[in-house]
Amino acid sequence: MSDEYIDNKIETKSADSSSGGYAPPADHIPAKEAPDQELYHAKSFWTKWVFCQDAKVIGVQYALTATAIGMIGLILSWGMRLQLGFPETFSFLGPATYYQSVTMHGMIMVIYLLTALFLGGFGNYLIPLMVGARDMVFPYVNMVSYWMFLVAVIVLIASFFVPGGPTGAGWTLYPPQAILPGTPGSELGIVLMLVSLSLFVIGFTMGGLNYVITVLQARTRGMTLMRMPLTIWGIFTATVLALLAFPALFVACIMMTLDNLIGTSFFMPEIFTMGEKLETGGGSPILFQHLFWFFGHPEVYIVALPAFGIVSDVISVHARKNIFGYRMMVWAIVIIGALSFIVWAHHMYVSGMNPWFGFFFATTTLIIAVPTAIKVYNWVLTLWRGNIHLTIPMLFSLGFIVTFVNGGITGLFLGNVIIDVPLSDTYFVVAHFHMVMGIAPLMVVFAAIYHWYPLITGRHLNQTLGKIHFWITFIGAYAIYFPMHYLGFIGVPRRYFEMYDSPYMASGVGLNQFITVAALIVGFTQFIFLYNIFTSWYKGEKSERNPWKANSLEWHTPDYPPTHGNFGKELPVVHRWPYDFSVPGSDKEYIPQHVAPSEVPAAKVEKT
Amino acid sequence: MSQFDIEKLPKGSKGFMYDWGSDQRAFKGVPWGKAMMWIFLLSDTFIFSCFLISLMTARASTVVPWPYASEVFGLTVFGTSVPLLLIAIMTFVLITSSGTMAIAVKYGYEKNRKLCGWFLLATAIGGLTFVGMQAFEWSKLIFHDGVRPWYNPFGAEQFGAFFFMVTGFHGTHVSIGVIFLFIFARKVFRGDFDTGRKGYFTSMKSDYEAIEILGLYWHFVDLVWVFIFAFFYLW
């Protein structure tokens, strides 16, 4: 890959590098455009670890908070599975509690765990390090972003303790049922949910502006956009999507809160309940669905794109080979992001839209398969003839590719209107989206944690526990979701509290019990993983510097693990992309991004 | 060391390709705060777009007649009823405040502390007048005409709901702007941007660019008003 650098042709400036001395013309990198960032230096424990402005600490705070709330989501799923598998043995979950569990499980996992973990957690930790910045561009706003997120999480948890409990409207919160009596949590629970989501959006906007501007405006010398690791491309594009998609959710939340609290009728049609006509009328429930899914579909890619990016980097590093088709990968990420804004109504095929809408949205939906397939081919081609190290991050990445292909193919089924209509609201849909945006991104989360844990703590995670974690999670996930596809095909409807003796379930009872047992085992394994994380923090095997022999900047900081300000006195100067592994002619197995061409004269491949 | 000189960079479409293919910054010479404000405004545009598109949907789908705007928003002055009088004055005041804001930015860059501060103050007072007149308009609709978010005597009830929600959301934007205008006027008069005094919360230095960034926000709020004006009062 050749990257023509315009400055090389202009030849006007003196060719000097950061060292100040003479540097060969091939090493030329444009001069610094702006003075170094001024940082806030914490003086007390509180400003250093609690109200901290260092993006790395904020990233860890985000990740820990998201994991904590995610554990609640996990435990809720156990309750649901026990109810579905063994409704007679475990009867502690009533119908209302079941719906509340479903709702909170979905909302927590999608927004408070995955979005916060990928963008707030990995974004904060990795963006400044990987683009060669000292910190996020607005550290103070970044700190407020985390605390806003924490408040949103607390409001969400508070909804468990109000009269009526949390909302049980399903994670899509469709009105009018979400705010009418009869739905659990229709009094205070739904209000707290909407408030929590609004706070999340506000908090995220603060963080998101930071991520976007850091990537666009605060890269180090030589770090062109096309030299950024794909991790950054994924997180950056996802953040842009989030900044444009969350407004729709925010507006929907405000309108529904008003419907609920002061009796407006934005989403409320004429309704008779208990034999009486409600005061409301004239509103459009479909409007909410449009607003919600205008947010909801990009949300899928807000979770998926960072996963795409991270997995590309992990595969490349652990297969000791450059990523296949880097530019294609970047454009695929951008195109997927752009397309994700014009596919939202494929979630609404059975909402009663004009049939031509379904035709349009089915077409756009299927077009997304093209860039996504490009990415899958490129991951596989990166592995092809690579020097594959079956480390735990690599295992999880391989697991991701398989799972993502699986979930993507069922997506092709559901993207077609005529196949979607009969499969709509069956377990096939549940299996599809858990595969594609539950298990697949989680595989990447695990890969990323095993990959970057040494950077964050200076220690490795326990390998044995890690292997156990991988195999049980991987095989277990298939044990859970493969049978679910079948249940969907035979017509088992989702969202049903109990279907033990129903005609749908004639052949599915045993399968349902099997799924429940698998889900319990997989869930339990995640606690082993948590145990691994916490014990390895102080007991784990010490990691040497750059244990995976990676090229990107975060592994090459003067202090290991990196400290406040990231790069010591001088910011690094970047000369190449982060994928120079096994370069022909070079005597080094890998060439880090900051190595100048003159230091590796024999390397035969372009530096890009 | 060769210096970064924005004048020497390629211009036009070539410049666009150069900027996005280059290192360090995609928007050459643009400070972080300004880039951030632009992106924030883009995000905010989506919020207001969602509001206004929802309004259009509601208006298109309601079965009850939509109220006649010039009747609802008329004022009776000296016995004659003048349609849209108050709104015309409000819009004039807000657009004028955009003008004073632009002048404040100009004096800011000239480091003319006094005039910059006074024009910021004038802008703030313009904004305050706008919010005050909006409060008057709201109270007239609520107490005099009996319009409520859940009911209105003129026709479709979504009219009241959308009106209070969207103008309220815009009014909140203006009020936040006014608060910041007062804070920045004080900062300018005190000379914070000349002496490099550190911010109370962020403990970071700031300079007159901050005035321009605030100006971007203020112009945006005015621009949004033009759309709200068109959708509620003229349509």
Residues in chain B: 235
- Tell me the two tokens of residue A121: 């957690």
Residue A29 has a pLDDT of 86
Identify the residue among A264, A331, A608 best suited for mutation to test binding to B, counting B beta carbons within 10 A and taking the highest.
Answer: A264
Contact list in A for residue B27 (CB cut-off 8 A) is 216-217
Residue A15 has a pLDDT of 41
Helix (H, G, I), strand (E, B) or coil at A315: helix
| Average of per-residue pLDDT across A248-270 | 93
Taking an 8 Å cut-off on Cβ atoms, the answer to whether A282 and B62 are in contact is yes
Taking an 8 Å cut-off on Cβ atoms, the answer to whether B43 and A137 are in contact is no
- Count of domains for chain A: 2
Facing residue for A258 by CB, picked from B10, B28, B161: B161
**Prediction pTM value:** 0.94
Q: Is the pLDDT of residue A4 over 60?
A: no
Given pLDDT bands bounded at 50, 70 and 90, which one contains residue B2? low
Average pLDDT, chain A: 91
Residue A124: closest CA among A77, A63, A83:
A63
Contact list in A for residue B162 (CB cut-off 8 A) is 266
Name which of A404-413, B12-21, B149-158 the model is least confident about.
Answer: B149-158
Reported as a single tens digit per residue, the pLDDT across A271-285 is 888 888 888 888 899
Rounded to a whole number of angstroms, the distance from the CA of B26 to the nearest CA of chain A is 5
How big, in percent rounded to 5, are the helix, strand and coil portions of chain B?
A: 70, 5, 25
Reported as a single tens digit per residue, the pLDDT across B72-126 is 787 777 777 777 888 899 999 999 999 999 999 999 999 999 999 999 999 999 9
Given pLDDT bands bounded at 50, 70 and 90, which one contains residue B207? confident
Q: Where are the alpha helices (DSSP H) in A17-172?
A: 45, 55-85, 95-107, 124-131, 139-158
Angstrom distance (rounded) from CA B163 to CA B142: 12
Residue A241: closest CA among A166, A358, A341:
A341
Rounded to a whole number of angstroms, the distance from the CA of A262 to the nearest CA of chain B is 7
Residue A20 has a pLDDT of 46
CA-based nearest residue in chain B for residue A260: B150
Cis peptide before A285 (omega within 30 of 0): no
The answer to whether residue A145 is domain-embedded is yes
Residue A71: closest CA among A104, A49, A96:
A104
Taking an 8 Å cut-off on Cβ atoms, the answer to whether B44 and A247 are in contact is yes
Residue A31 has a pLDDT of 86
Given pLDDT bands bounded at 50, 70 and 90, which one contains residue A462? very high
Reported as a single tens digit per residue, the pLDDT across A533-580 is 999 999 999 999 999 999 999 999 998 899 998 998 889 999 999 999
Contact list in B for residue A30 (CB cut-off 8 A) is 2, 4, 22-24
CA-based nearest residue in chain B for residue A133: B24
Bridge partner list, B80:
B77
Taking an 8 Å cut-off on Cβ atoms, the answer to whether A574 and B23 are in contact is yes
- Tell me the two tokens of residue A423: 């499969």
Residue A62 has a pLDDT of 97
Contact list in A for residue B40 (CB cut-off 8 A) is 205, 209
Residue A10 has a pLDDT of 38
Helices (H) and strands (E) in chain B, counts: 8, 2
Taking an 8 Å cut-off on Cβ atoms, the answer to whether B156 and A281 are in contact is no
Facing residue for B202 by CB, picked from A20, A137, A140: A140
Angstrom distance (rounded) from CA A460 to CA B76: 77
Q: Tell me, what's the ipTM?
A: 0.94
Rounded to a whole number of angstroms, the distance from the CA of B25 to the nearest CA of chain A is 4
Contact list in B for residue A280 (CB cut-off 8 A) is 150
Distances A487 to A218, A490, A507, B70 between C-alpha atoms, Å? 51, 5, 9, 59
Facing residue for B150 by CB, picked from A219, A226, A263: A263
Bridge partner list, A493:
A426
Q: Is the pLDDT of residue A12 over 70?
A: no
Residue B60 has a pLDDT of 87
The answer to whether residue A214 is domain-embedded is yes
**CB crowding A308-330: b at 16 or more within 10 Å, else e:** bbbbbbbbbbbbbbbbbbbeebb
Residue A9 has a pLDDT of 39
A401 vs A507: which has the higher pLDDT? A401
Q: Is the pLDDT of residue A434 over 90?
A: yes
Look up the domain containing A562 and give its range: 544-608
Q: Where are the alpha helices (DSSP H) in A326-462?
A: 326-339, 355-383, 392-415, 417-423, 427-434, 440-457
Reported as a single tens digit per residue, the pLDDT across A587-597 is 889 999 999 88
- Tell me the two tokens of residue A295: 């947010």
CA torsion sign, B104 to B108 to B109 to B111? positive
Name all domains of chain B by residue range, CATH numbers in brackets: 31-234 (1.20.120.80)
Which of A162, A195, A228 delimits the end of a domain? A228
Reported as a single tens digit per residue, the pLDDT across A399-429 is 999 999 999 999 999 999 999 999 999 999 9
The answer to whether residue A139 is domain-embedded is yes
Angstrom distance (rounded) from CA B39 to CA A40: 24
Taking an 8 Å cut-off on Cβ atoms, the answer to whether B165 and A255 are in contact is yes
Facing residue for B26 by CB, picked from A137, A217, A263: A217
Rounded to a whole number of angstroms, the distance from the CA of A219 to the nearest CA of chain B is 4
> φ, ψ for residue A411 (rounded to 5)?
-65, -35
| A581 DSSP assignment | B
Reported as a single tens digit per residue, the pLDDT across B62-83 is 888 888 877 778 777 777 777 7
The answer to whether residue A246 is domain-embedded is no
- Tell me the two tokens of residue B229: 């004006």
A463-489 helix and A440-457 helix, angle to the nearest 10 degrees:
160
Reported as a single tens digit per residue, the pLDDT across A106-155 is 999 999 999 999 999 999 999 999 999 999 999 999 999 999 999 999 99
Which of A204, A228, A252 delimits the end of a domain? A228
Contact list in A for residue B23 (CB cut-off 8 A) is 29-30, 219-224, 227, 574
Which of A228, A248, A274 delimits the end of a domain? A228
| Average of per-residue pLDDT across A34-51 | 86
